[in-house]
Amino acid sequence: MDITFIFLLGFLIALIGVIPPGLLNMTAAKISLKEGYIRGIMFSTGACVIVLIQTYIAAIFARYLSVHQEVIDILQRVAFVIFILIAIYYLFLAKSQPQQQIQPKIKSKHSRFFQGIFLSAINIFPIPYQAYMTITLASFGWLNFAQTSIVSYVSGAVMGTFVMLYIYIFFFDKISGKSFTSQKNMNYIIGGITGIIAILTLINIIKEL
């Protein structure tokens, strides 16, 4: 398996996962606007340290599940229903809500680094997300669970997360007023992403029948 391809898979999946406005990217953007880019980057670096750990745990968990196909079959069907419901919610039911303003109070660069670690640590969504995606990629034959593959995938995921946080840090002030960053359009983006994942899941379920 080409480790460059695996790296790119990890990069793209993590990048997609951080596109929708959330706690980490919005906090990084607010910090950079109020305190400068350096502190925003320090925050993002701290967040990515935890992303590395979370993605590695997810990959190891996925490797364990890969030898228990009956569990994977159940998880795929549950995940398919969940992704469909999320897509329906964001595409048709979610209403625009005013975004809460994050008020950074910590000033030191080191404090921002540890704040990134803390906020990333309480965000446990990447673990099930990455575990499911690695299982799905493995089922398509695009990923195996050799140690070099796991390291390549994790490295790509960390880089993808950092790049998207970097984009928020340096370009949020330029794009925040654009129509495509409105809450309504972001709901469509989230719904579209989860819809695509649901379709891939359905294809995989049908493939294994």
Q: How far is CA 44 from CA 9, 93, 128, 163, in A?
A: 21, 32, 21, 9
What are the C-alpha distances in Å from 145 to residues 43, 60, 188? 31, 8, 33
| Closest C-alpha among 156, 180, 148 to residue 9 | 156
Q: Return d(Cα 172, Cα 74) in angstroms, integer.
A: 40
Does the global pTM surpass 0.95? no
pLDDT value, residue 18? 85
Q: Name the more confident of 116 and 79.
A: 116
**What is the distance between the alpha carbons of residues 104 and 91, in angstroms, rounded to a whole number?**
32
Give residue 150's pLDDT band: very low, low, confident or very high (50, 70, 90): very high
% of the chain surpassing 70 pLDDT:
80
Residue 176, pLDDT score: 57
Averaged confidence pLDDT in the chain: 80
pLDDT at 93 over 90: no
Task: Indicate the burial class of 101 (C-beta count within 10 angstroms; 0-12, 13-18, 19 or more).
Answer: exposed
Backbone angles phi, psi at 122, to 5 degrees: -85, -5
Cα–Cα dist 160/16, whole Å: 8
Distance, CA of 108 to CA of 31 (rounded, Å): 11
Answer for the pair 168, 33: CB distance below 8 angstroms, yes or no: no
Q: Which amino acid is at 57?
A: I
- What is the pLDDT confidence band of residue 47, given thresholds at 50, 70 and 90? very high
Is 153 exposed, middle or buried (CB count within 10 Å of its CB: 0-12, 13-18, 19+)?
A: buried
- Hey, where are the domains in the chain? 3-69+96-177
19-46 tens-digit pLDDT: 777 788 888 888 888 888 889 999 999 9
Spatial CB neighbours of 1, under 8 Å, sequence gap ≥ 6: 143, 144, 146, 149
